[in-house]
Amino acid sequence: MSEYTSILVEKIEQVALSRLNRPKAYNALNKELLAELMGALASFDADDSIGAIVITGSDKVFAAGADISEMAGKSAVEMCDLDNISIFDKIMTISKPIVAAVSGFCLGGGSELAMSCDMIVASESAVFGQPEINLGVIPGAGGTQRLTRAVGKALAMEMVLNDRRITAQEALQAGLVNRVYPLDSYFDEALKLAGEISVRAPLALAACKKMVNLAYEKSLKKGLAEERQAFYDLFDSEDQDEGMQAFLEKRKPEWKGK
Ligand code: CAA
């Protein structure tokens, strides 16, 4: 697990951790970092010993956005060729739950990366924002779409039109983050949350994640139909047998991910 230069990876029991690690550039998301992150996430997803994933930065900065020095001077075609943004869609294809542990600056693509995760645990000093307007562009990786679905139109408009930055507490109130903790404990709490999830029934976890994300894509009717099918499908799994038998026998289930 040491083939990376812009991220650090580690396994803690059944949780895989990926730490963004370009401190001098405030973890700006350049091609290399995003490719490494995606590579790490794909390898975690393929590893049966891993049940959940945490993405974090440092206490000072989660990520200050897409790397401006990589984008400056590029044409529209060149930006398309760079293709950094497709990685944000690929993150959505990771089947294991991902918790973002966010502290400090979480801006632009950094905030969009956090929103591509399944849950956000923030430190009290986290600041979320979409400052792309200052650069003469718009958020390009979910900052107008995921943010609006998370916090609603009123706040999203202020954030993207006028670089309104919100504190962790405001983000909690707005529904952008799950939990807020003091600086000295947010990371441990994120790890704890991921740890609790990591030992749950793997097939059901993947189906839950897929179905909640589907709620953003489909009409209620279509979403309910897919949910019902996924529910029935799990009745062909060994874990469903085990889960229900264990309940009836008043013992802890042993999940196989089958
Ligand atoms: N890209 C490249 N480098 C960045 C960066 C970014 N997004 N953000 C910070 N850095 C670099 C700075 O250039 C600086 O490097 P040097 O020391 O070599 O000069 C270093 O990180 C520290 O930055 P500052 O000196 O500016 O630190 P600060 O504490 O005064 O301010 C900050 C911190 C408020 C985060 C400020 O750096 C900032 O505003 N950064 C840019 C934020 C931004 O605009 N993000 C959106 C990017 S576009 C985007 O993300 C598009 C998208 O939707 C995908």
Q: Whose CA is nearest to atom 40 of ligand 1?
A: 64
Domain range for 217: 202-248
The vertex-81 CA angle with 79 and 83, nearest 5°, equals 75
N-term to C-term CA, the chain: 27
Interval between CA 72 and ligand 1 midpoint (Å): 13
156 and 50 both lie in a single domain: yes
Q: Using a 6 Å cutoff on CB, does residue 113 contact ligand 1? A: no
Ligand 1: residue of 20, 26, 58, 87 to mutate (most ligand atoms within 8 A of CB) is 26
184 and 223 both lie in a single domain: no
Single out the residue in 198, 221, 239 at which a domain terminates.
198
Number of structural domains the chain divides into: 2
> What is the DSSP code string of 46-98?
T-TT--EEEEE--SSEEE-SB-HHHHTT--HHHHHHH--THHHHHHTT--S-E
134 and 216 both lie in a single domain: no
**Per-residue confidence (pLDDT) for residue 94, from 0 to 100:** 98
Spatial separation of the C-alpha atoms in residues 92 and 200, rounded to whole Å? 20
CATH number at residue 167: 3.90.226.10
169 and 228 both lie in a single domain: no
CATH number at residue 235: 1.10.12.10
Assigned domain for 131 exists: yes
81 and 113 both lie in a single domain: yes
Single out the residue in 175, 198, 221 at which a domain terminates.
198
Assigned domain for 38 exists: yes
Hey, which residues are catalytic here? 66, 109, 112, 132
Q: Using a 6 Å cutoff on CB, does residue 104 contact ligand 1? A: no
217 and 142 both lie in a single domain: no
Interval between CA 179 and ligand 1 midpoint (Å): 26
Interval between CA 230 and ligand 1 midpoint (Å): 43
Burial 241-257 (b: 16+ CB within 10 A, else e): ebbeeeeeeeeebebee
SS3 100: strand
Give bridge partners of residue 166 from the DSSP assignment. Answer: 128
Instruction: Give every CB contact of residue 242 below 8 A, 6+ residues apart in sequence.
Output: 253, 254, 255, 256
Tokens of 223: 């979403």
Interval between CA 64 and ligand 1 midpoint (Å): 5
Assigned domain for 257 exists: no
Interval between CA 160 and ligand 1 midpoint (Å): 17
Atom of ligand 1 nearest to the CA of 67: 1
| pLDDT values of the chain reduced to their tens digit, one per residue, 258 residues | 468 999 999 999 999 999 999 999 999 999 999 999 999 999 999 999 999 999 999 999 999 999 999 999 999 999 999 999 999 999 999 999 999 999 999 999 999 999 999 999 999 999 999 999 999 999 999 999 999 999 999 999 999 999 999 999 999 999 999 999 999 999 999 999 999 999 999 999 999 999 999 998 889 999 999 999 999 999 999 999 999 999 999 999 999 999
Tokens of 232: 């029935």
Q: What is the DSSP letter of 181?
A: E
Q: Using a 6 Å cutoff on CB, does residue 211 contact ligand 1? A: no
185 and 221 both lie in a single domain: no
**Per-residue confidence (pLDDT) for residue 3, from 0 to 100:** 85
Q: Using a 6 Å cutoff on CB, does residue 69 contact ligand 1? A: yes
94 and 168 both lie in a single domain: yes
- Give the pTM: 0.97
